[in-house]
Amino acid sequence: MTSTPIYPDIITPDSAVPADQRPRLGFLYPRGGSGFEYYRFAEHFRDNIRCYLIGGMHAFGGNKTHYREPLMQMGSVENLAYPARAMRPLDVHAGIWATTSASFIGGMQWSLDQAKAVSDILGAPVSNTALAFVSATSAVGAERVAVLASYPQEVTDAFRRFLGEADIAVSSFVHLDADCGEDAFEMEEQFLIDQALKLDYTGAQALLIPDTAMAAFPLIAPLERELGIPVLTANQVTIFEALRLAGARVSTPDYGRLFALAGAEG
């Protein structure tokens, strides 16, 4: 784990953070298409936040990776050990296994054990996107959510059970039956907005959009305006969790209510 100190004040897009105090965030990112969202986020903060993406883990199941057995294999510590070791020279303040499905599919304890094992390899605090959804949901004060999931039904149901283990109730959900991350990446913005607006938001305090393969940043602003509740996307909460673990504080109005929280950690 790096001994470099983190910038002590709130980082905004207008901040001038000394180079040696910039948060260094590492993301183990599987195959998909939306890794660019991490770099766009760093650019938004004028690179005062450093994002490093490392691949190298295997995907299983061919073009049907969004099913239980391939996800369990992809999320195994054995599969994540090599990219975690490859990240070590980057001296990051925090690392995240940047996938939702391959971090919730085995349940809460499996997810926690996964994060700890990768942390032991990396030598820095580590979480994953599933746990990041729990942190972010808590940060916006939501206890009941709606879910727009790219996955087939069986994996969507596993996500609902995972949220239930964290005492987060799901009021309504939709599964879009993407067999793999590439299919999710190809879903068009207007299609996803239309699907989100079909959900029943009675009692829902946030909308969750899992799957780091989805380029969902553009969905946040229009859906928050329409729904009047926080919208939490996979890459958004993944970055939030990395910043939180690193001890960095950021604020911007341009990435949804989650990051608009003044002085929010991560």
Q: What is the mean pLDDT of residues 244-262?
A: 92
Which domains are present in the chain?
10-129+235-260 (3.40.50.12500), 133-233 (3.40.50.12500)
Please tell me whether residue 256 adopts helix, strand or coil conformation.
helix
149-197 pLDDT, tens digit per residue, is: 999 999 999 999 999 999 999 999 999 999 999 999 999 999 999 999 9
Residues 6+ apart with CB under 8 A from 191: none
In which band, very low, low, confident or very high, does the pLDDT at 265 lie, cut at 50, 70 and 90? very low
In which band, very low, low, confident or very high, does the pLDDT at 5 lie, cut at 50, 70 and 90? confident
In which band, very low, low, confident or very high, does the pLDDT at 4 lie, cut at 50, 70 and 90? low
Angle in degrees, CA 132, 34, 142, rounded to 5: 30
205-214 pLDDT, tens digit per residue, is: 999 999 999 9
pLDDT of 192:
97
pLDDT of 33:
83
Picking from 103, 63, 57, the residue whose alpha carbon sits closest to that of residue 80 is 57
Q: Give the bridge partners for 97, in sequence order.
A: 28, 128
Q: Give the bridge partners for 172, in sequence order.
A: 146
Residues 6+ apart with CB under 8 A from 157: none
Q: Maximum Cα–Cα distance for the chain, whole Å?
A: 48
In which band, very low, low, confident or very high, does the pLDDT at 45 lie, cut at 50, 70 and 90? very high
14-43 pLDDT, tens digit per residue, is: 999 999 999 999 999 998 789 999 999 999
Reply yes or no on whether the pLDDT at 264 is more than 50.
Answer: no
Alpha-carbon distances, residue 12 vs 45, 50, 236 (angstroms): 6, 14, 16
Contact 241, 96 (CB under 8 A): yes
Q: What is the mean pLDDT of residues 42-69?
A: 94
Q: What is the mean pLDDT of residues 118-139?
A: 97
Average pLDDT, rounded, for the chain: 94
